[in-house]
Structure 1
Amino acid sequence: MDFELSEEQEMLRAASRDLLADRAPVERVRAWAEGDEDVDPEVWRLTAGLGWPGLGLPEEYGGAGQGLVELALVAEEIGRALGRGPFLPTAIVGRALADAGPPGLRAEVLPELAAGAAWATWAFAEPRAPWSLAGIRATAKPERGGGYVLDGVKTAVQDAGGARWLLVTALQEGTPASYLVDRSAPGVTVRRQQVLDPTRAFYEVRLTGVRSAQRLDAEPADIQRLLDEASVLRCADALGAMERMLELTVEHTTTRVQFGRPVGAFQAVKHACADMALLVHGARAATYYAAMAEGDAERAACAAASYVAAGAPHVAGRALQLHGGIGFTWEHDLHLYLRRARADSVLYGDAAVHRDRLCELLMPGLTDPKGS
């Protein structure tokens, strides 16, 4: 596979990095992390002007018609800058609607998402349940006159506080299905959660007899594919954070002097930095391969997700160790990246979830009672 980016993709990466560095530096992220708002409106407006919200949406709805690779490039820069905002969840919901939404629903929702006038998020995970289709307990019951009634509780729903729409995954007669819900609909209750990562906002969403739900024409396999794509974008976000932690660590170890020498001159420190670099390079290769893969997309997504979910916390731990006491202070940026990496290691499934599924894909006969 050719991992070289096109000229347009390199321009997208450069423009995204420049925008975040100029208008959303870490100092600004810190200030917004202490508030109650999910989104910095100025930054969201600027990213909408750059075309981020509609990057992966069809051109007929005002999007750019780009693919998973372009979305991953932006996600990587967001992770590198500890960026806030609903780019990732909106991109995921937009892809779901573009692939399986009824024509009328696509015409109503996608232009607003593409313009950045509103955003959406995916309500998938549930309390004390694995981040997989097997963990879905919310229910959707058809009504006689048409429509559906949704009941259940969702957790770790990113940026749900200001979202216009929620994509809810629920069981209809025991089969997972997707429903688009207006967040302001009666029966929808949103409560902000206290989480490890202060650079993003996550919510509990409670659905009690919600009737204003529109079903997407998505089979369980389509939902699983969307979960794989979300996992790849999560890997890209974590990759950006890992790259920045490596840079901060190299900078610190080459300038911090101990016993008359930079600490980076000691062999043990060199080896630790080399271990970090190997994990970063491996995460980049796995993430890019998963974003570019076609025929092997499922296994590639699982391999990337399991590798990055395990590698990101390890890089964070090494960075913290090599920074010494300063790495533990609130004033240093490192702890924000550490928190981001820890959160990314469990979003859309931790390493164990993806490794189990990868085993099922590689050796179906071992998990299928009817297999030979």
Structure 2
Amino acid sequence: MDFELTDEQKGLVDATRSLLTAKSSLAGARDLIDGPDGFDTALWRHGVELGWPALTVAEEDGGLGQQIIDLALVTVELGRSLASTPLVPTALVADALGHSDNEQKAKLLQAICEGNLVASWGFAEFRQPWGPAGITARAQSHEGGYLLDGAKVSVQDADSAQLLIVDAVLDDAPARFLVSTDADGLRIVRQNTLDVTRSYCDVTLTQVKVDAAALLASGDEARRSLARTMQLSTVLACAELVGIGSRLLDMTVGYVKEREQFGRPVGSFQAVKHKCADMRIWVQASTAATYYAAMTLDSEHHDSERAVSIAKAYVSDAINRVAGQALQLHGGIGFTWEHDLHLFLRRARVNSMLSGDARHHRERLCASLEADLAGAAG
């Protein structure tokens, strides 16, 4: 695949970075710690004006009709700046809606593109595996609609969202539902997480009533829709990790050029040069794996499931190694609350666990290869 950015993509990256440089700061990220807002609302308004939530929405639905790789490029920049916006969860919902036949699709996508609707995805459950087998939330038919019961964890920006996609089991098969966050019986509580600059929530559903139009997909259609949402979520987690790794590399190289020891910049020592070179290699390899996985989601000729797992397995480990080297090369100052390094380390650690950790995706890859070998032998 060609990893060279087009002129349009370069313009998108430049415009996004310029906006984030002007409107997003690490001081602003610190203001979110223990604050009432789950994300930077002012920055989100500017991002809406730039077209972030409309990027991958089809033109006939009011969007810009771009590809997943374009969304990934923006997410990389968000990772570089440690920006807190609801772009990722809202984009996941928009993508699921865009590939559905739900009667509310046009209205909801229009609201998302205009920035009038923040949405999120409730999938993960406590102590359950990352996959359809981990869904224990239940749905049952009730008076022409459905009743939902269950609990979801780590739902990003649920406390700021107006709409959730909730995955549950209906008639022993997966089903996806559109649920308003102000529905009776739905409870949202913000979690205390390692990433202190972002909101993750527990969502509890107790006899939540939704109408028939709330059913987004069921059965095989829901399996396909869920698989795509899982893959897209994983790619965007990798993209943000790439941005974090790139920023950590820049911070570290800048620091070792200025920090002096024995009358010389520590960056002039061979051991330090080697560590910085390793960091650069890991970031570059992570970038390639992430871009490839993103492009497979828009291609019918590539194994996106395998490409996504390869990316997540590699990027989760590689960017955490970058973070470890950055911390070591910064020395004692990197451990302090006042220094910004730990904020990136926190988000890197959390993102490496989201959408399945490296071990989970290695196990998926091994199972896939075993299946291929069994098929070839048969």
Q: TM-score, normalised by structure 1?
A: 0.96
1:341 to 348, 364, 368: 348
Cα distance between partner residues in 1 of 2:370 and 2:7: 39
Query: Number of matched residues?
Result: 369
1:304 to 304, 311, 321: 311
Contact 2:41 2:85 in 1 (8 A): no
Compute the displacement of 1:39 (Å): 2.5
Contact 2:32 2:198 in 1 (8 A): no
C-alpha distance after superposition, 1:202-222 (max 9, x if no partner): 000001111115111333132
Q: TM-score, normalised by structure 2?
A: 0.94
2:287 to 273, 284, 287: 284
**Which residue is equivalent to 1:205?**
203
Compute the displacement of 1:146 (Å): 2.1
**Which residue is equivalent to 1:331?**
338
**Which residue is equivalent to 2:26?**
26
| Within-5 A mapping of 1:346-361 | 346-361=353-368
| Within-5 A mapping of 1:82-231 | 82-102=82-102, 104-143=103-142, 145-212=143-210, 214-217=214-217, 218-231=221-234
Cα distance between partner residues in 1 of 2:27 and 2:270: 34
C-alpha distance after superposition, 1:95-121 (max 9, x if no partner): 00110241x210221111110011100
Corresponding residue SS for 1:245? helix
Amino acid of the structure 1 residue aligned with 2:155: V
Contact 2:150 2:206 in 1 (8 A): yes
Amino acid of the structure 2 residue aligned with 1:286: A
Contact 1:132 1:353 in 2 (8 A): no
Amino acid of the structure 2 residue aligned with 1:287: T
Contact 1:360 1:367 in 2 (8 A): no
Cα distance between partner residues in 1 of 2:374 and 2:125: 24
Deviates more, 1:350-359 or 1:284-293: 350-359
Runs of 4+ more than 6 Å apart:
none
Cα distance between partner residues in 2 of 1:302 and 1:82: 24
Amino acid of the structure 2 residue aligned with 1:280: V
**Which residue is equivalent to 2:53?**
53
Cα distance between partner residues in 1 of 2:157 and 2:242: 21
Cα distance between partner residues in 1 of 2:189 and 2:361: 28
Compute the displacement of 1:313 (Å): 1.4
Compute the displacement of 1:265 (Å): 1.6
- What RMSD over aligned residues (CA atoms) do the two structures have, in Å? 1.6
C-alpha distance after superposition, 1:159-181 (max 9, x if no partner): 00010100111112332221110
Compute the displacement of 1:34 (Å): 3.8
